Amino acid sequence: MKKVKYLAMLLAAGMFAACSDNLEDAGAGNSGGTTSDKGYIRIALNLPTTSGENSRAANDDFEDGIAAEYAVNNAILVLFTGTAESSATYSQAFNLTPTLESQPSDNVTTRYTTQAIEINKPATGNVYGLVILNNNGLFQVTTGTSGAHDKLQWKKTTSGQFEDFTGALSQLNTGTGYAISDIATLANSTATTGGFFMTNSPKASVKGRETQTNQDVTTLVELSVQDSEDDANAAAPDEIYVERAVAKTTVKVKAQTNTSLTISSGDFNGATVNFEGWLLNTTNTVTYLVRNVSAWKTWSGYTMPTGATANSGNRFFGNDDEFYRVYWAIDPNYDTAAGANILQTYSSEDYENSTITWGTIDNSATAAGSEHPQYCLENTTNETQMKEKELTGVLFKTTFTPSGANAGDNFFMLGKTSEIYTEKNFLNLVNTILNLTNDDALTSDDITGKGGTYNTASEVATWLGITEEQATKLLADSRFSGDIKFYQNGVAYYYSAFIKHFGDDLTPYTNGAYTAADHLGRYGVVRNNWYELTVTEVSGPGSPEIPEPDPGDTPDDEESWIRCAINILSWAKRTQDVEL
């Protein structure tokens, strides 16, 4: 498909009006030494938008998204002091009040600056800044008692009680602090009362296309401390780049006027597939509040694998001159099998219990900004855990109409063959095998069960209202080969579009086991990335019930009826075509 390159992100307009609090000496409370005097800082906050140049891969485009994803309703500046980011500890926190010079519109590019902020200047060491935007009830700043500065508090445990925050940045990603299971908390699209939770974006010191010998990655931003308010206001602000804590997915069908595709060749030539809804499946329920890139030194040692679109450089780091992004992450269950209690995977039982809400699916003519996105937490794995049951994918609900049939008609498939039976033909076959005639013959009224795959005598007997002996005879017939697929009302499900991150461009795969050097990041979802899937082709019917991911298979082991393409926009946006 034609790719449009969107320029990678940076500036525009707006201002934070910040308080200049008269903070008193808090004593020796950090690795940077005792507080010596007052100092002044000034910062600029850059929201994750696009501008500039980035050429990681042909499938790496950049788009801004919609205005609601840029809403800033509250802001907290957290200061750490120490001789280095790794050893710096919390020292002070400030509430900032965001104001904009103009109301942002779609494809907004947003930059906020502050006036000078008075801080407690450490006698030794550096001052580092972390910004939290749209805390959504996870953090608060409380007024300190006499002789103490304001305190940062956070909901560290699932009890929901605020606790004083102390220690290094890494403390935000330890213990139970990461178990934020409610996605609505981090991706609150109510622009006036919520907003997307955002924190600092990790920054690389060396471009991905350059030699990685001197690479360094930092998340906190070292701030320049001035001696006076006037000096701080006159100086250029220190730039802090933030990112949303969630990933975004949109789905389109490659059609101009509806969401249907027609099969034009093969065993199912002439059949139509109408896409009625979609949802993200196998999503993470835990996350780190600040992106974890602690393995960046290992990543910096990898080069582009053979066959990659980019023939040199490193896929984990960006090339934009303003800000070298880091393009991978570690989630809380990165190295181990997450298990059903950590990953949310839907089943037919969920559908029957009405716990599934299908998202609206768009088509190629859907205007930018009018898409129907879904958001999810970061879900990444190492190369050995990159299996179907661990990866986020897209589940489609469709109506499959065989050639010559009416939409919504029941149909059946037997065994492993590609032959489709209408309800009339299926009943005729069953009655013939079981020698059922006249009043004993099965009719449409006898098919009362739900859609699904029936492969045991007891299931078939209950479904068709026959004896288990008759059901056994039926399943033993060579035409049945042990199972019956019943597509009730033509409903078919497809679940084969596992979301690719680096994908085929940067992590091509042919065969064999995955390796970290060549395949790490091939699949996964990373915060602040926008994954756009486009269904380009369907080659056959899916499953009559919601299929479950195979616990042992990798996505590249599977054959599927669907084919997608993923573009990842930044937001970062990646597009993926899907053939079914």
Over 303-340, what HEC string results? CCCCCCCCCCCCCCECCCCCCEEECCCECCCCCCCCCC
Q: Which domain holds residue 466?
A: 411-490
Same domain for 420 and 397: no
Q: Calculate mean pLDDT across residues 518-525.
A: 97
Residue 24 has pLDDT above 50, yes or no: no
Over range 168-194, report the average pLDDT.
67
Let me know whether 273 and 334 are in one domain. yes
267 lies in the same domain as 226: no
- Mean of the pLDDT values across residues 225-229? 93
On the 0-12 / 13-18 / 19+ scale of CB atoms within 10 A, 321 is exposed
Read off the pLDDT of each residue in 326-352 and give the average, rounded to a whole number.
Answer: 83
Asked whether residue 104 carries a pLDDT value surpassing 70, the answer given is no
Which pLDDT belongs to residue 31? 36
Going by pLDDT thresholds of 50, 70 and 90, the confidence category of residue 160 is: confident
The verdict on residue 392 lying in a domain is yes
Per-residue pLDDT averaged across 459-463, rounded? 95
Q: What is the mean pLDDT of residues 50-62?
A: 40
* Residue 338 pLDDT > 80: no
Using pLDDT thresholds of 50, 70 and 90, give the confidence band for residue 393. very high
- Is pLDDT at 47 greater than 60 in this prediction? yes
Least trusted range by pLDDT, from 65-69, 102-106, 265-269, 475-479:
102-106
Residue 311: what pLDDT?
73
User: Would you say residue 4 lies in a domain?
Assistant: no
Mean pLDDT of 350-355: 70
Residue 261 has pLDDT above 70, yes or no: yes
Ranges 118-122, 146-150, 158-162: which has the least confidence: 146-150
pLDDT band for position 54 (cuts 50, 70, 90): very low
The pLDDT score that the predictor gives to residue 99 is: 56
Asked if 361 and 221 sit in the same domain, the reply is no
Model confidence at 449, pLDDT cuts 50, 70, 90, reads confident
For residues 270 and 379, membership in a common domain is answered with: yes
> Is residue 310 pLDDT above 70, yes or no?
yes
Quick check: 157 pLDDT over 90? no
For residue 221, the model assigns a pLDDT of 96
Whether 125 maps to a domain, the answer reads yes
Q: Are residues 66 and 154 in the same domain?
A: yes
| Greater model confidence, 190 or 272 | 272
* Cα angle, residue 262 at apex, residues 567 and 492 outer, rounded to 5°: 80
The strand pairing partners of 94, in sequence order, are 77
How far apart are the C-alpha atoms of 132 and 72, rounded to whole Å?
A: 10
- Can you tell me whether residue 6 is helix, strand or coil? coil
The answer to the question of residue 313 being in a domain is no
What is the total count of domains within the chain? 3
Q: What is the mean pLDDT of residues 274-279?
A: 95
Q: Where are the beta strands (DSSP E) in 360-470?
A: 362-363, 374-377, 393-401, 411-414, 420-422, 452-454
285 and 218 in a common domain: no
Mean pLDDT (the chain) is: 83
Mean pLDDT, rounded, for 63-72: 78
The whole-angstrom separation of Cα 29 and Cα 167 is 10
Q: Are residues 228 and 373 in the same domain?
A: no
Asked if the structure places residue 299 within a domain, the reply is no
pLDDT level of residue 182 (50, 70, 90 thresholds):
low
pLDDT for residue 504: 92
The percent of residues in the chain predicted with pLDDT above 90, rounded, is: 55
Cα-based angle 176, 178, 184 (whole degrees, multiple of 5): 125
276 and 226, same domain (yes or no): no
Contacts 24+ apart (CB under 8 A), 291-295: 291/199, 291/201, 291/202, 291/219, 291/243, 291/326, 291/329, 291/378, 291/527, 292/173, 292/329, 292/330, 292/331, 293/202, 293/217, 293/219, 293/326, 293/328, 293/329, 293/330, 294/330, 295/330
Domain C-terminal end among 445, 467, 490: 490
Would you place residue 495 in the very low, low, confident or very high pLDDT band (cuts 50, 70, 90)? Answer: confident
Q: The CATH number of the domain where 548 resides is what?
A: 2.60.40.3690
Pick the last residue of a domain from 490, 514, 530: 490
Q: Is residue 102 predicted with pLDDT exceeding 50?
A: no
Instruction: Note the pLDDT of residue 200.
Output: 95
Residues 142 and 65 in one domain: yes
Position 509 in a domain: yes
Q: Is the pLDDT of residue 59 over 50?
A: no
| Identity of the residue numbered 325 | R
Q: Which of 490, 522, 545 is the last residue of a domain?
A: 490
Predicted model pTM: 0.86
What's the mean pLDDT in 237-243? 91
| In-domain check, residue 10 | no
Radius of gyration of the chain (CA): 28
Work out the average pLDDT over 172-178.
60
Q: What is the predicted pLDDT for the residue at 551?
A: 78
Note whether 352 and 499 are same-domain residues. Answer: yes
Q: How far apart are CA 467 and CA 456, in angstroms?
A: 12
Torsion angles phi and psi, residue 502, rounded to 5: -75, -30
Q: Are residues 395 and 436 in the same domain?
A: no
Q: Is residue 310 part of a domain?
A: no
Residue 465 pLDDT grade (very low, low, confident, very high; cuts 50, 70, 90): very high
Could you tell me the pLDDT band of residue 369, with boundaries at 50, 70 and 90?
Answer: confident
Name the more confident of 9 and 443.
443
Spatial contact of 529 and 571, defined as CB atoms under 8 Å apart: yes
